Amino acid sequence: MLKDNRICRFDREGAEPHSAGQAGEYWNPMPPGGAPYPHRMRQEIYEQPDTILQTLGEWIDDLDSLIGAIGDAGTGTRLRRIHIVGCGTSYHAGLIGRYIIEKFVHIPVSVDMASEFRQMEPVLTRGTLLIAISQSGETVDTLTAQRQAKAQGTPVVAICNAVGSSSSREADAVLYTRAGEELGVTSTKTFTAQIAAICLLGIALGAHRRKICDVELETLKSFLAGLPSLTRRVLGKDHEIGEIAQTLTGAHGILYLGEGISYPVALEGALKMKEIAYIHAVGCPAGEIKYGPLALVEPGSPVVALAPISSMSGKILSTVADVKARGAHVIALTDAPAALRDIADVVVTLPPTHPAFLPFVSAIPLQLLAYHVAVLKGHNVDRPRNLIKSITGE
Ligand code: M6R
């Protein structure tokens, strides 16, 4: 009866329970009638304060129930390590998940692209939980990885947006992202919803295992509750980012720098730029650039640097200075503009937040940047060339 229990427990309070027959259905948080957005992608970027709220909404004051449901999946207190798999944007959410879960739960986390996980002989020891992240719940690589883990007796929690999808049906437990239907091929709102779901899971597990004290828990919950208004403030940077985009339409390559939890965000920003603006883009940890990618930098090379104050003790400032010394055109996104003003060419000031929640602040400007560059180049941002929304076949 675990399955039935699972389906009910993970559904939104008051919502109709979903059955396996409802594959592909979504819970739509938007009011009927639609909004006057020129593109679905733009609308979906703008929906993020709501979709984050909806994803957090049902659990933020009920973290014990979340743990109860994971406990049903056979992990609970016996949990010793977590392995995360996903593809593309969902993989990047998984990389962010590693920082969040290790920080709050203090257990080792590994993250693999599901397509690579399939090629390995992964050692999934007792006490391992596999988290499969997928917007559609139908991506063949993620599903295959999930099935491989199940076949080894490893419990699986799916983080999924499509209710009743294969991934959600086959998992031992499902944590739904409540992002609503994402029609644009490019993932935007589902990315931040996935991160919101991982934050919930990490904080819930951390509190349950007493790695987070009551005071810290209340602080984290109030940061979580503030995410919708925080992301709304970030969307207020849209016009400024649109102007920066005008300087990038002729770029042949863009380097995205980040460190710590901002590194996967740099990867995601680069992916967005590749898939809709068709500009070669590379995400690189700031501390890694001297080991090769620095050779790419020449006068005029665009570099996007994610430089939140919480990582200022790290490499990002010296790396920005290094690329600047080689003539790079540096666009810095930071909550500490004074530290960057003299070394970056353009500084976008972002609101401060808790270090664990930085991806919510930095991912949205990078989505907007790619969007504006692509629109300026005349691309169909909702239907990028060569790509489809869901890779369900080999
Ligand atoms: O449905 P999934 O999250 O499993 O999809 C995985 C990737 O196909 C997807 O994240 C893709 O990388 C994005 N749509 C790119 O924006």
Render pLDDT for 104-142 as a digit per residue (tens, 0 to 9): 999 999 999 999 998 888 889 889 999 999 999 999 999
Asked if the structure places residue 306 within a domain, the reply is yes
Q: Is the CB–ligand 1 distance for residue 115 below 6 Å?
A: no
Q: Is the CB–ligand 1 distance for residue 139 below 6 Å?
A: yes
Give yes or no: residues 172 and 288 share one domain. Answer: no
Asked if the structure places residue 46 within a domain, the reply is yes
Q: What is the pLDDT of residue 314?
A: 66
Q: Is the CB–ligand 1 distance for residue 310 below 6 Å?
A: no
Q: Is the CB–ligand 1 distance for residue 384 below 6 Å?
A: no
CATH number at residue 110: 3.40.50.10490
Q: DSSP secondary structure string, 365-377?
A: HHHHHHHHHHHHT
Dist. CA 387 → ligand 1 center (Å): 10
Distance CA 199, CA 66 (A): 12
Distance CA 339, CA 347 (A): 10
Tally the domains of the chain. Answer: 2
Does position 19 have pLDDT exceeding 90, yes or no? no
- b (16+ CB within 10 A) / e for 332-349: bbbbbbebbeebbebbbb
Give yes or no: residues 286 and 366 share one domain. Answer: yes
Q: What are phi and psi of 258, to 5 degrees?
A: -155, 175
Helices (H), 226-261: 227-235, 238-245
| End-to-end CA separation in angstroms for the chain | 33
Give yes or no: residues 269 and 332 share one domain. Answer: yes
Q: Is the CB–ligand 1 distance for residue 362 below 6 Å?
A: no
Confidence at 165, pLDDT banded by 50, 70, 90? very high
Percentage of residues in the chain having pLDDT higher than 70: 89
Give yes or no: residues 260 and 164 share one domain. Answer: no
pLDDT, mean over the chain: 87
Give yes or no: residues 62 and 162 share one domain. Answer: yes
Dist. CA 346 → ligand 1 center (Å): 31
Domain boundary, last residue among 225, 244, 270: 225
Ligand 1 atom nearest residue 89's Cα: 10
Dist. CA 241 → ligand 1 center (Å): 24
Give yes or no: residues 276 and 295 share one domain. Answer: yes
Dist. CA 123 → ligand 1 center (Å): 26
Q: Is the CB–ligand 1 distance for residue 140 below 6 Å?
A: no
Asked if the structure places residue 214 within a domain, the reply is yes
Q: What are phi and psi of 95, to 5 degrees?
A: -60, -40
- Of residues 270, 253, 249, the one with CA closest to residue 95: 270
Q: Is the CB–ligand 1 distance for residue 301 below 6 Å?
A: no
Ligand 1 atom nearest residue 191's Cα: 10
Dist. CA 390 → ligand 1 center (Å): 7
Asked if the structure places residue 300 within a domain, the reply is yes
Distance CA 256, CA 214 (A): 37
Q: Is the CB–ligand 1 distance for residue 268 below 6 Å?
A: no
Q: Is the CB–ligand 1 distance for residue 136 below 6 Å?
A: yes
Instruction: Determine the residue of 139, 181, 185 to mutate for testing ligand 1's pocket, defined as the one with the most ligand atoms within 8 A of the Cβ atom.
Output: 139
**pTM beyond 0.85, yes or no:** yes
Distance CA 85, CA 50 (A): 26
Dist. CA 186 → ligand 1 center (Å): 7
Q: What six digits make up the tokens of 289?
A: 């650039």
Nearest CA to ligand 1 atom 6: 87
Nearest CA to ligand 1 atom 7: 88
Q: What is the pLDDT of residue 10?
A: 33
306: β partners = 333
Owning domain of residue 242: 236-376
Confidence at 57, pLDDT banded by 50, 70, 90? confident
Q: Is the CB–ligand 1 distance for residue 142 below 6 Å?
A: yes
Give yes or no: residues 215 and 323 share one domain. Answer: no
Give yes or no: residues 85 and 150 share one domain. Answer: yes
Q: What is the pLDDT of residue 77?
A: 61
pLDDT, tens digit, 9 for 90 and up, residues 27-50: 333 434 554 788 999 999 999 999
Give yes or no: residues 354 and 326 share one domain. Answer: yes
Give yes or no: residues 341 and 198 share one domain. Answer: no
pLDDT, tens digit, 9 for 90 and up, residues 60-83: 888 988 888 777 665 666 789 999
Q: Is the CB–ligand 1 distance for residue 166 below 6 Å?
A: no
Ligand 1 atom nearest residue 185's Cα: 14
Provide the residue type at 37 as one letter. Y
Q: Is the CB–ligand 1 distance for residue 275 below 6 Å?
A: yes
Report which DSSP code applies to 284: E
pLDDT, tens digit, 9 for 90 and up, residues 267-286: 999 999 999 999 999 999 99
Asked if the structure places residue 216 within a domain, the reply is yes
Give yes or no: residues 221 and 240 share one domain. Answer: no
Does position 20 have pLDDT exceeding 70, yes or no? no
Q: What is the pLDDT of residue 31?
A: 37
Dist. CA 144 → ligand 1 center (Å): 15
Ligand 1 atom nearest residue 190's Cα: 3
Q: What is the pLDDT of residue 76?
A: 60
Confidence at 24, pLDDT banded by 50, 70, 90? very low
Dist. CA 23 → ligand 1 center (Å): 17
Dist. CA 299 → ligand 1 center (Å): 34
Does position 144 have pLDDT exceeding 70, yes or no? yes
Q: What is the pLDDT of residue 148?
A: 95
Give yes or no: residues 122 and 96 share one domain. Answer: yes
Q: What is the pLDDT of residue 312?
A: 65
